[in-house]
Structure 1
């Protein structure tokens, strides 16, 4: 029995040490990566200078054509992330400020994402390789229910989110393979192939969202002009009065939900195709940047 206990303890110690070593190796690789996605592109960067930074979910990523801003002489990057919530957008902006980015304007897609204060596991997991390296990221995750496991258990986060930051992603990061996420200045165009052209957002309720409030405060403290906008939805959507509720809660958010109409401009009910996005972007530039 004594021998068995000794063997068990030794095995557990060796396993723990292996996890520590693997954690260190994975993290070291990710700390050298800056071309896989928008999070490592920011995290492993020095100060950048932008006229316009775009933040939000896929409804930012697919709706704001950054190259059109650039054609107008506005240095722009679209940091919208498909699936992302305001949890991730606010953290990304914190990291930009921490890295001394000079940002004149932030365009923030602020509509459906106001209805929750949750993180998106798929997007937020991309921050986790840096959780021990960054107090900002650590603090941002500190109220999450699984924070103790993510922070204190070696290698846990790489196993829990293997599909996003596991071995496959590690291998591609080590090989410095590029992705499409940084192409077109971060803008991801959608084609004309129709997805779901019906939607129902009747059950959504906008919140006085702490992450939106944090973004507002961060912009104010750093003299960044915040342009918060609601972006278009197709006319087949049920519950479009949600956008009126947003404006009642936050009058400063500009409602552009109806500015592009017609199914020919949509790839799905909640996402403009490239033609619609270009039309929408031109309207935004005219309204906010041609003064």
Structure 2
């Protein structure tokens, strides 16, 4: 029995030691990563100057053509993240401020994601390699139910989210493989697909009366003298339940409603995401309304 306990203790010790070593090794590689995605790009950056920073989900990523802002003399980057929620948008802005970014305007796509204040695990996982290197990231995750496991168990986060930050991603960082996330100043143009989902039902969707992370973004902008522009972006003409946007306007009167600026199906890749042609029409409208000279 004694030998068994000694053997078990040795196995446990070696397992923990390996986990600690692997945790440190993976984290080291992520701390060198700058060309894989938007989160790494911000975390591993230093002070930058922007006239316009765009935040939000794929409905920001696919709807604001950053090059059109640049053509107007506005230094811009689209930090919209496909699948992202306001949880991630708020944390990304906090990291920008920590890195002493100078930002004149923040455009936040705030519409469908106002209906929840949850993290998007697939996107938020990409912050986790840095959780021991950033007090801001640590505090942002502290209220999440799995925080203790993610923070205190070495290598656990890399195993749990292997598909996002595991061996394959680490290997690609080492090989210095790039992605298209940072192309086109962060804007991801879409094309029309014949099999695109052109139906959407948001009848049961309701905005929270107080979305924690929306309010955080708003407060960060106020504290740092950043002009805050929150907008609702277009959806196709087939959507059922478009009164959702009226509910948003009632709960958050400061949010500008642009859901009907582009509605024709021909300008949509799917019902919630415009094609490049639709995005350009929408971007022209935003530039005219907020950045005319």
1:8-49 per-residue CA deviation (whole Å, 9 max, x = no partner) reads 000000000000000000000000111100000000000000
Aligned mates of 2:176, 2:214 — CA distance in 1: 34
Q: How does 1:34-183 map to 2 (within 5 A)?
A: 34-183=34-183
Normalization by structure 1: what TM-score?
A: 0.99
Determine if the alignment matches structure 1 residue 199 to structure 2 residue 200.
Answer: yes
1:66-95 per-residue CA deviation (whole Å, 9 max, x = no partner) reads 001011110000000000000000000000
Residue in structure 1 matched with residue 260 of structure 2 by the alignment: 258
SS in 1 for 2:36: coil
Residue in structure 1 matched with residue 271 of structure 2 by the alignment: 269
Aligned mates of 2:158, 2:262 — CA distance in 1: 42
Aligned mates of 1:88, 1:202 — CA distance in 2: 25
Aligned mates of 1:46, 1:134 — CA distance in 2: 14
> How many residue pairs are counted as aligned between the two chains?
291
Normalization by structure 2: what TM-score?
A: 0.99
Deviation (angstroms), 1:174: 1.2
1:242-287 per-residue CA deviation (whole Å, 9 max, x = no partner) reads 0000000000000000001211100000000000000000100000
Residue in structure 2 matched with residue 4 of structure 1 by the alignment: 4
Aligned mates of 1:232, 1:271 — CA distance in 2: 8
Runs of 4 or more consecutive aligned structure 1 residues displaced over 6 Å after TM superposition: none
List gaps (5 residues or longer) in structure 1.
none
Q: Which residue, out of 243, 246, 250, partners 1:244?
A: 246
Deviation (angstroms), 1:176: 1.5
Residue in structure 1 matched with residue 219 of structure 2 by the alignment: 217
Aligned mates of 2:226, 2:119 — CA distance in 1: 24
